Structure 1
Amino acid sequence: MTDTIEAVFDTVAATAGDVRTVLSSRRSYEAAENPSGEQQLAADVYADEQLEDELLALAEVGSYASEERESVSTDTGAYHVACDPLDGSSNLKSNNSMGTIVGIYDEPLPAPGDALVAAGYVLYGPITTMVTAVDESVTEYLIEDGEREVLSEDVQLPDDPVVYGFGGRVPDWPTEFGAYVDDIEDERLKLRYGGAMVADVNQVVTYGGLFGYPMLADRPNGKLRLQFEGQPMAYIIETAGGASSDGTESLLDKTPDGLHSRTPVFVGNESLIAGLESKL
């Protein structure tokens, strides 16, 4: 299993190098929408197609799914990969951070959170980095020329949280969640929200704190996809000593009711997640 997981992460890192190279020439919107009804950039389509081709070429990868495609692409193999190929791609127009999210499951997709065996993300920031969670350990890498170089091992969330960031429009937040945000601000945490989950969660990994995209008045199930975004990020944060929640339970205790099912997502320090759940 370890060899397969490392092969998946090596492939994602190599693809990240290709994707970063072509971002500047793929900023235009396509005619098509993804299954969630979001307009696709040419960069979304490119990243998705590259990941599908390269990951399914691995002998032990039996299927590939992403938020950019309606159904699962299948092959033969024991492991199943779910991706958000270019998280935060709307930031491309304004030249802000984006990323790639990957979850590796040992059950066919859609799969429950307890079927995750590893997860990771790539951050396209001033430098390109990758964070992976496998074998109960989180590691940060630098990616250069498609290769990984270890930067930090046994990464843990700092005990004293510093940052927070929440998605959605404030008028659409539930009253109870708005009250919790007031509590967070009373603790004098710093607001950090950039519109790309990878970048915002990486702030939490680096400084400690909380990221969330809550349930909304017009989206009671939230906006983020459980299989492609919520569960892989929850796996990373929980492996790093933090916690995740949909407001009532860990995201890793949930089973998606469909490939593209949505959920409220909260990840961060255990104390902040506990406070959130008590408020909601």
Structure 2
Amino acid sequence: MATKDINTADSASDTRTIDEIVDVIATTAPEIRTGLPGRRVASEVQNPSGETQMAADVFADDLLCERIGALDGVGEYASEERPESIDVGTGSLSVAVDPLDGSSNLKPNNTMGTIFAVYDAPLPANGRDIVAAGYVLFGPVMTMIIARGGTVDEYVIYDDATYELIREDISVPDEGSVYGFGGRVPNWTEEFEAFAREIEQDASRKLRYGGSMIGDVNQILTYGGIFSYPALESAPEGKLRVQFEGYPIGYVLETAGGASSDGEKSLLDVDKPDLHARTPLHIGNTNLIAKLESALD
């Protein structure tokens, strides 16, 4: 289960660089969103995880790489769309990005977003090396969640690339009211299926699963509850990438007073040296994550 040990930037220069990274992501988001309509087609290449890239994936990655890489305090940039991290400067901070999480939702025009993590270490890094993380959600309203300095804040991003703080020091609600579980049910393990069925029997919770991880995560941050993309019989390591999704989402939820887990321990304590390694992912209220870990033990 989660342990409250959230790393924070330890120098004025790092703090300034984090401000600049957040600004780049926020001001680039409207351009990414505006560029989506003409890029709802598959490209001719696959990403390092073996998935066919959408033209929008490449577009978003190129924009973010160019702009984040131009910041003096950033030394490395990595994304889910590139096989390796690239050196972009001599700065001390590394940035890992999922440029367009949920890009498969372009075809049905469903929720997607951008996930990022700032590490005070070379890539691939560990979850405890994160000094800031967050995501932009391309919903009916474009919003940005930022976890840094021990707090989680929410901003609304406008089409003119300005953004405004709308909620400060967000906490996961105590009474979780939603749940969502990914993966094909026939591929769930017996232990996870038994846990999921028990959760489903609680009439106080509603099913909320949209097939875009970032949208499902935002449901948990808003309403509380539990979201899982578990280990599967067909994929024991799960589906989601620890460096680009597991660590940053775990950091956001734990900073907001919730918990994260790979089924045994905090996502921030998962130790996998491969840049594109996968992990089972469970996030939500601390009591529900503790219950899940007991069920999978």
Residues 227, 260 of structure 1: 8 Å contact kept: yes
Aligned to 2:86: 73
Aligned to 1:170: 185
TM-score (norm 2): 0.93
Q: 2:176 aligns with which of 153, 156, 161?
A: 161
Aligned to 2:293: 277
Give, in whole Å, the separation in 1 of the partners of 2:154 and 2:271.
28
Shift of 1:120: 0.6
Q: Secondary structure at the match of 2:240?
A: coil
Higher mean C-alpha displacement, 69-78 vs 233-242: 69-78
Aligned to 1:52: 65
Shift of 1:267: 0.7
Aligned to 1:139: 153
Aligned to 1:261: 277
Aligned to 1:14: 27
Q: Secondary structure at the match of 2:253?
A: helix
Shift of 1:196: 1.0
Q: Is 1:198 equivalent to 2:214 in the alignment?
A: yes
Give, in whole Å, the separation in 2 of the partners of 1:2 and 1:268.
28
Q: Residues 209-248 of structure 1 correspond to what in structure 2 (within 5 A)? A: 209-248=225-264
Residues 247, 268 of structure 2: 8 Å contact kept: yes
Q: Secondary structure at the match of 1:102?
A: strand
Q: Is 1:84 equivalent to 2:98 in the alignment?
A: yes
Aligned to 1:184: 199
Q: Secondary structure at the match of 2:35?
A: helix
Q: 1:95 aligns with which of 92, 97, 109?
A: 109
| Root mean square deviation of aligned Cα | 0.7
Aligned to 1:251: 267
Give, in whole Å, the separation in 2 of the partners of 1:277 and 1:174.
14
Letter in 2 for 1:270: T
What are the superposed Cα offsets for residues 52-104 of structure 1, whole Å, 9 maximum, x if unpaired? 00001000010100110000111211000001000000001101100100000
Shift of 1:147: 2.0
Residues 112, 139 of structure 2: 8 Å contact kept: yes
Letter in 2 for 1:97: T
- The number of equivalent residue pairs is 280
> Which consecutive residues of structure 2, in runs of 5 or more, have no partner in the other structure?
1-13
Aligned to 1:24: 37
> Which consecutive residues of structure 1, in runs of 5 or more, have no partner in the other structure?
none
Shift of 1:197: 1.0
Q: Residues 123-134 of structure 1 correspond to what in structure 2 (within 5 A)? A: 123-134=137-148
Q: 1:112 aligns with which of 121, 126, 133?
A: 126
Q: Secondary structure at the match of 1:218?
A: coil
Aligned to 1:208: 224
Q: Secondary structure at the match of 2:279?
A: coil
Shift of 1:249: 0.3
What are the superposed Cα offsets for residues 102-129 of structure 1, whole Å, 9 maximum, x if unpaired? 0000000000111000101000000100
Give, in whole Å, the separation in 2 of the partners of 1:121 and 1:196.
13
Shift of 1:218: 1.1
Letter in 1 for 2:20: A
Letter in 1 for 2:24: T
Letter in 1 for 2:98: D
Residues 262, 270 of structure 2: 8 Å contact kept: no
Residues 10, 147 of structure 1: 8 Å contact kept: no
